[in-house]
């Protein structure tokens, strides 16, 4: 029998999925009682993300189940033997999608098969990202409460303020949640990682150093498609990256507010070089 119904919200540690959890609590109490809040933990998240999840759990009054990958990133990196990229992002598949599906299969085995209502924090002002059947599983029914109820970015900020949970601390220097080595992040975010978490920057750099030994005759490979991390932090390059970023920020301020690029101008650290609409839903919402 497949007549059972389950309700799941996968939190990323980002503002939209967090706001959706509190929206459900306040506006959909019958769902809040049934829903399971989960977090697909790559074990490579920013420290601020883990702190924020603990805060969400406390303010929400419900457990957030942590789901971990079957193998750690070091093992997977050795297995694939190439860096995850926006084109080939095996990191999301191996460290979030597969663990999520295993969690579902185990749940079905224990409780019986059914339909999963998966709640996704895509907002009404980005409804072009919402699509039924996105996950390709017949047992998953995607739910978009923000799209259905016209909840926009400003509403999300109000929800977080009202809940008292606020924004995660990484927004002080980065635009989104995700692994410290996320291949979608811009050069500016890499420099901010270097400033705020030099240990994690060095850890990411060590993967590049291993793949690009001194005197290597092959084309360098790394997290960013056109610059290695060791080159990013060279004073002359870091200076240019920061100047380019500042120039883009000033340009956005001068552009007409009617342009699409300025619809999100009040978001922290908005950077058009970041992943935008092509980012991973599991990681960044």
Same domain? 98 vs 218: no
From edge to edge, which strands make up the β-sheet containing 64-67?
64-67, 36-40, 4-11, 114-119, 140-143
Structure-block tokens of residue 131: 């699509």
C-alpha dihedral, 41 to 43 to 12 to 195, nearest 10°:
180
What does the pLDDT look like over 10-30, one tens digit per residue? 999 999 999 999 999 999 999
Q: How far is CA 43 from the centre of its chain?
A: 13
Same domain? 124 vs 209: no
Query: What is residue 220's predicted lDDT score, i.e. its pLDDT?
Result: 86
How would DSSP label each residue in 224-247?
SSS--HHHHTSHHHHHHHHHHHHH
Beta strands 114-119 and 64-67 are: unpaired
Same domain? 158 vs 193: no
The CATH number linked to 56 is 3.40.50.620
Query: What is residue 185's predicted lDDT score, i.e. its pLDDT?
Result: 93
In a domain? residue 182: no
Give the global pTM.
Answer: 0.86
Distance CA 60, CA 55 (A): 8
For residue 76, the tally of other CB atoms under 10 A from its CB is 18
Same domain? 57 vs 165: yes
Same domain? 166 vs 216: no
Same domain? 130 vs 262: no
Query: What is residue 277's predicted lDDT score, i.e. its pLDDT?
Result: 42
Same domain? 27 vs 167: yes
In a domain? residue 72: yes
At a CB cut-off of 8 Å and minimum separation 6, what does 85 contact?
Answer: 183, 225
Using DSSP's 3-state secondary structure scheme, residue 8 falls into: strand
List per-residue pLDDT tens for the chain, 285 residues long. Answer: 457 999 999 999 999 999 999 999 999 999 999 999 999 999 999 999 999 999 999 999 999 999 999 999 999 999 999 999 888 889 999 999 999 999 999 999 999 999 999 999 999 999 888 876 666 678 899 999 999 999 999 999 999 999 999 999 999 999 888 899 999 999 999 999 999 999 999 999 999 999 988 767 677 899 998 899 999 999 999 999 999 999 998 888 887 554 433 433 334 333 434 444 445 555 655
Place of tokens 């410290």: 180
What does the pLDDT look like over 151-175, one tens digit per residue? 999 999 999 999 999 999 999 999 8
End-to-end C-alpha distance for the chain, whole angstroms: 33
Secondary element (H or E) of residue 18: helix 15-27
Same domain? 70 vs 116: yes
Same domain? 104 vs 163: yes
Q: Which residue range forms the structural domain that includes residue 269?
A: 187-278
Number of domains in the chain: 2
Beta strands 140-143 and 36-40 are: unpaired
Same domain? 38 vs 165: yes
């Amino acid at each position: 029998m497949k007549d059972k119904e389950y309700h799941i919200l996968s939190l990323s540690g980002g503002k939209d999925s967090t706001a959706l959890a509190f929206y459900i609590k306040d506006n959909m109490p019958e769902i809040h009682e049934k829903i399971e809040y989960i977090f697909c933990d790559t074990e490579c998240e920013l420290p601020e993300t883990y702190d924020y999840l603990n805060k969400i759990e406390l303010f929400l009054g419900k457990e957030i189940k942590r789901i971990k990958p079957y193998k750690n990133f070091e093992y997977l990196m050795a297995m694939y033997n190439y860096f995850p990229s926006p084109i080939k992002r095996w990191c999301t598949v191996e460290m979030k999608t597969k663990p999520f599906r295993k969690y579902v299969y185990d749940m079905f085995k224990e409780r019986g098969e059914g339909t999963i209502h998966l709640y996704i924090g895509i907002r009404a002002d980005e409804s072009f990202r919402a699509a039924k059947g996105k996950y390709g599983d017949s047992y998953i029914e995607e739910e978009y409460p923000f799209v259905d109820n016209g909840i926009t970015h400003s509403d999300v900020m109000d929800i977080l303020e009202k809940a008292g949970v606020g924004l995660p601390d990484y927004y002080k220097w980065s635009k989104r949640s995700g692994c410290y080595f996320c291949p979608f992040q811009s050069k500016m975010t890499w420099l901010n990682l270097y400033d705020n978490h030099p240990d994690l920057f060095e850890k990411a750099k060590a993967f590049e150093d291993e793949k690009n030994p001194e005197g290597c005759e092959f084309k360098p490979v790394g997290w960013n498609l056109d610059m290695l991390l060791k080159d990013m932090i060279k004073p002359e390059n870091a200076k240019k990256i920061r100047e380019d970023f500042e120039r883009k920020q000033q340009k956005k301020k001068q552009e007409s507010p009617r342009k699409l690029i300025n619809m999100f101008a009040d978001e922290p650290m908005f950077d058009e070089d970041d992943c935008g609409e092509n980012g991973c839903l599991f990681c960044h919402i």
